[in-house]
Amino acid sequence: MSLSASFRCTAGCPGSWPLDTVIYQCPACGELLEVNHDMEALKQQSGDEWKATFDRRWMTRQWPYGSGVWGKKEWVQPHLRDENVVSTAEGGSNLFWAERYGKSLGLDELWIKNCGNSHTGSFKDLGMTVLVSTVKQMIADG
Q: Which residue did the predictor score with more confidence, 80 or 114?
A: 80
DSSP state letters, 20-37: TS---S-TTT---EEEEE
45 HSE (CA, 13 A, CB side): 15
- What is the per-residue pLDDT for 43? 95
- pLDDT (tens digit, 9 = 90+) per residue, 39-77? 999 999 999 999 999 999 988 888 999 888 999 999 999
- Which helix (H) or strand (E) segment is 129 a member of? helix 125-141
Mean pLDDT throughout 117-128? 70
Residue 60 backbone phi and psi in degrees, to 5? -85, 175
Say if residue 120's pLDDT is above 70.
Answer: no
Distance CA 23, CA 34 (A): 11
- What is the per-residue pLDDT for 122? 64
Say if residue 34's pLDDT is above 90.
Answer: yes
